[in-house]
Structure 1
Amino acid sequence: MKNNIIASLPDRKKKIAKLIGEMNRGLLERTEQVKLILLAALAGEHVLLLGPPGTAKSELAKRLKSVFVEANYFERLLTRFSVPEEVFGPLSIQALEQDQYKRLTSGYLPEASVAFIDEIFKANSAILNSLLTLLNERQFDNGNRRYPVPLISVVAASNELPEGEELDALYDRFMLRSFVHPVSDSSFTGLLTLGNETCDPDLSTRLKIEDLAQVQQLAEKVELTPDVIELCNEFRRYLQQESIYVSDRRWRKLVKLMKVSAFTSGFNQVSNYDAWILPHCLWQQPKQLEGLQQVYEKAIAVSGDFSVDRVKKLMVAWESKLKEDSNARRQKMNADGKLLYKTPNGKQTTNSTGRYQKTNSDGEKLYLNENHSETTDEKRWSYDQKNKPVMIDRPNDPIMEPIQYSASHIQERVYGAASIKKEIENHIERLSGKLEMVDQVFAEHLWINPALMPVITANISKAKDHTETLLQSAEALINGFENLPVEDSVLEALAAEDDDAAEDDVMEGELCD
């Protein structure tokens, strides 16, 4: 893995790192949610927080508002009976008197930069359509005109998953999803003694709207590497296997999130490390997150330039060729070019058949007695005579020998196996580079969870060990082809070359004398 760290824009990166720390201040076990929410805002996306009441979901949204300069904040708890006026503002009486249907949006969602909507999935159809347009297109229909809205990000919360197909589109609008658990037993004492720390970054640290636009614009120029594309394919295969539906729109926005993750961390390429975000964007139910995390951890070492399955198939094909070449036989010939056969007593002959004494199933020789019956007795009982051998014609076994191959045949085989070996060696070199870069990437990366570092290191090392095993198989394959029997003419030519070389050496020696 080449060093693709950007040296420029250090101030922005430091600012974002400070804001992550500010948002975490006074919170326990919420680092993951803080990073998801802030990254979503930088990419212009929305976050869904699932979990029981009282787990700091609304506090996280308020803290997001605090990281921006002059950001308007809107918060609302929805019920089944909520009306559009609660979210989008009341109707203008003055406009109605002029036969116009307009809302007074000041202080409501259409004027907000950051919003927190609790129990989002209780939104009814009267609210839903306008909410979808506002979330996805950043526009709001007011009267007979459609207006742009200053919305940066919506943090939505719910105690339960959506029920009903009419909410599927709304659910899909929230790119990042996180289940917020109550604090663990290990943090319970800290919870009881926690102070009332707030998130109030210095104005110089806060982000401006122009910062968001610049981040998103520059992040588009970040390169999406073949490794990441292959990793996404790994996820897609897993999702299909588990029957988890992911829309095309979600995949496109995932690319944007990964690019923002890479760019804000100071990289000019999206690497597999930026795909840490995928498990948090692809689950439909919280229980699916663990499986997706395992996919990421196992696939961290995948390469767009190297497919283990493809190389294994090639190895099997070439090993089959080696076995075929090694086991191939032809009938031996004498100096006159005649085929050779082996008699039952092991002697060589050019006769394909011979006349031999018949034997029984135990290999005993058979004779013909006076009654013309076959017997194993050589002597007769009644006379001092011998029984006649029973003679039959039978084919001689051909004498087989390994096929000798031309130099071009062997070179072709070795070249094919060597190309696989080279591909494997290149992949091992890339994996070694990745191992060397793990510490640096984690030190530079703003978003990836540091707890993943030992897991990722172990999986890259495991992939390297497995690839080195493939390399050994490739070397054995090359060695097998190189040791195939060579035609006598080739050996004679090589011997002649050696003799010529020896003569040249002698002549040079004589001239020197």
Structure 2
Amino acid sequence: MNNEKIKAVMDEVASETAERDELIQCIAIALLAKKNLFILGDTGQAKSHCINLFRKRITDAKQFERLMSKQTDEEQLFGRLDLSSIIPGNMPFDELAKDVSYSVKLGEVQKAYKEYEIDGRTESLEKAHKLAKELSDIKEIICSVKDSAPKVITEDKIPDSHIVFLDEIFKANDGILNSLLTALNERVYTNEGQTVSIPVISFFSASNEIPDFSEIENQILKPLYDRFDLKVVTEYVSDRDNRLNILKKKQKSTVNANPTTITLSELMTMQNEVKCVKVPDSINELMDDILCALRKKDIHISDRKFFNYTPIVQAAAYIRGSDTVSVEDLLILTNYFWTKPTERETISTALTEICANPIKSRIDDLIAMADEAFEDFKSNSTNNRAFTKARKELLKVYTDLQAIECVYDTDRESVNTASEQLENISKQICQMAEFTIVPLSEMYAQEL
């Protein structure tokens, strides 16, 4: 596992900033999991600084940065049309150079002209001129027999980049939104009818506000916001010692003379290793509990978002140095699940409570289901169908309870206590319906 370098970069960036551990971890996870990251915070909170400190350590990755405004156009982001590609009988030079005959003849012309520059003889010039005429004829033939679709020059633009930082992305004008959306979501760019894949690993953006998407003029920006998988909120440095520490470093102008760097090849190797991190069934089951708990708290989490949580926690486990996702790696999902900043505390609290004691959380959910079944029965206790339905639901809850894997004696005791609660509820239902009491444990044993 090659996680030591990414951890070293994280530590170095953290040492040059203050109270930005959450942001730094999310930057690392975004790069490892090929996700997009949005940072919300007031001006002067080192949002861009953290991103730049991190991404400059990815040494041979092509990078693109742009401060967005209403004047930012598609050419500035994605490149401009190569006019030579739309002139009849013409073709861009780099396309011509792919033809072997053209390349060989071009070499001969260049060699002949160099000879003329050296000796200045008429014979040398005539030779170069003759070869140039032959080169022109070859070009004419190539342009007549080969299709040349309009081409966009994308060098040093988004389609030519691995890491992209679009500051204040919500200031983008409507004319470039579609191109941005497909680039962020699908990693493709379409121009002049041609769709090409782009090599971007992660898009980063920062802003001091999130648009009010309930306003008609801002609704068009909502899909753009949704394309950012991870989100972080920054605050001003709150601790006095941290502020003084950064202040002293700036006054001394200390510079890390030998920063840790990661090559693009090394990063890709890490990304492949992240994909191999195992996700136990128990984690997926716990995640389903988390999903249900958050939805009960009116946190909107789509199925698409839930089903795609895996790379985030795999990257968190990888950074930690583990080949298997554990409960503690799920805490990063606060930054994955929130849409409104006001949701952060609710999500974080729920994740912490459930992850701190997942078995207790699972038992509580099952008891809540049993209580709900009991309440439904009490509202119609004289109906035989209601009795059958309640007993069936209680048996399912009891079965799920027995399926909980207990590592510690205290966990088994909790399961036993919950089993007694279920038996008590079942007994009350039987008495109210005037049916013979059959313990859930016997019914469960019969189904095994």
Q: TM-score range by the shorter chain?
A: 0.5 to 0.7
Q: Is 1:181 the counterpart of 2:171 in the alignment?
A: no
Q: Which one-letter code corresponds to 1:153 in the other structure?
A: S
1:40 Cα offset (Å): 0.7
1:83 Cα offset (Å): 1.3
List aligned pairs for 1:113-512, cutoff 5 A: 113-162=162-211, 163=213, 164-186=218-240, 187-195=242-250, 196-197=253-254, 202=259, 205-300=260-355, 301-303=357-359, 307-310=363-366, 429-430=407-408, 470=418
Alpha-carbon distance change, 57 to 421 in structure 1, aligned in 2, over 3 angstroms: closer
Can you list the C-alpha shifts for 1:115-146, whole angstroms capped at 9, x where unaligned? Answer: 21111112223211111222222222244432
- Cα contact 1:130–1:141 (8 A) shared by 2: yes
What's the counterpart of residue 19 of structure 1? Answer: 9
Q: Which one-letter code corresponds to 1:310 in the other structure?
A: L
- Structure 2 unpaired stretches of 5+: 91-148, 374-394, 426-448
- Structure 1 unpaired stretches of 5+: 1-8, 318-416, 433-462, 478-513
What's the counterpart of residue 157 of structure 2? Answer: 108
1:78 Cα offset (Å): 1.0
What's the counterpart of residue 363 of structure 1? Answer: none
TM-score by length of 2: 0.65
**In structure 2, what is the Cα distance between the partners aligned to 1:152 and 1:200?**
27
1:476 Cα offset (Å): 11
1:428 Cα offset (Å): 5.1
What's the counterpart of residue 132 of structure 2? Answer: none
Alpha-carbon distance change, 225 to 139 in structure 1, aligned in 2, over 3 angstroms: same
**In structure 1, what is the Cα distance between the partners aligned to 2:417 and 2:328?**
26
Alpha-carbon distance change, 107 to 227 in structure 1, aligned in 2, over 3 angstroms: same
Which one is further off, 161-170 or 52-61? 161-170
Name the SS of the counterpart of 2:164 in structure 1: strand
Alpha-carbon distance change, 279 to 313 in structure 1, aligned in 2, over 3 angstroms: closer
Of residues 52, 67, 74, the one that matches 1:62 is: 52
**In structure 1, what is the Cα distance between the partners aligned to 2:189 and 2:404?**
53
**In structure 2, what is the Cα distance between the partners aligned to 1:87 and 1:294?**
40
Name the SS of the counterpart of 1:91 in structure 2: strand
**In structure 2, what is the Cα distance between the partners aligned to 1:176 and 1:227?**
24
- Cα contact 1:227–1:304 (8 A) shared by 2: no
What's the counterpart of residue 91 of structure 1? Answer: 81
List aligned pairs for 1:71-86, cutoff 5 A: 71-86=61-76
Name the SS of the counterpart of 2:43 in structure 1: coil
- Cα contact 2:289–2:362 (8 A) shared by 1: no
1:253 Cα offset (Å): 3.0
Q: Which has the higher contact order (CA 8 A, sep 6+)?
A: 2
Can you list the C-alpha shifts for 1:66-113, whole angstroms capped at 9, x where unaligned? Answer: 232312221111112321122122333333435965432222222222
- Cα contact 2:367–2:422 (8 A) shared by 1: no
Which one is further off, 82-91 or 172-181? 82-91
1:178 Cα offset (Å): 0.5
Q: Which one-letter code corresponds to 2:69 in the other structure?
A: T
1:279 Cα offset (Å): 0.8
Can you list the C-alpha shifts for 1:2-23, whole angstroms capped at 9, x where unaligned? Answer: xxxxxxx2xx122222111122
1:265 Cα offset (Å): 2.9
Alpha-carbon distance change, 295 to 114 in structure 1, aligned in 2, over 3 angstroms: same
Which one is further off, 94-103 or 246-255? 94-103
Name the SS of the counterpart of 1:107 in structure 2: coil
Alpha-carbon distance change, 191 to 168 in structure 1, aligned in 2, over 3 angstroms: same
TM-score by length of 1: 0.57
Q: Which one-letter code corresponds to 1:74 in the other structure?
A: F
Of residues 25, 29, 33, the one that matches 1:35 is: 25
Name the SS of the counterpart of 2:195 in structure 1: strand
Percent identical among aligned pairs is: 28
Can you list the C-alpha shifts for 1:477-497, whole angstroms capped at 9, x where unaligned? Answer: 9xxxxxxxxxxxxxxxxxxxx
Give the aligned length. 337
**In structure 2, what is the Cα distance between the partners aligned to 1:107 and 1:293?**
40
CA RMSD of the aligned region, Å?
3.8
**In structure 1, what is the Cα distance between the partners aligned to 2:28 and 2:400?**
44
**In structure 2, what is the Cα distance between the partners aligned to 1:431 and 1:188?**
47
Can you list the C-alpha shifts for 1:229-286, whole angstroms capped at 9, x where unaligned? Answer: 2332233234433443333332233211112222343333322211112111111111
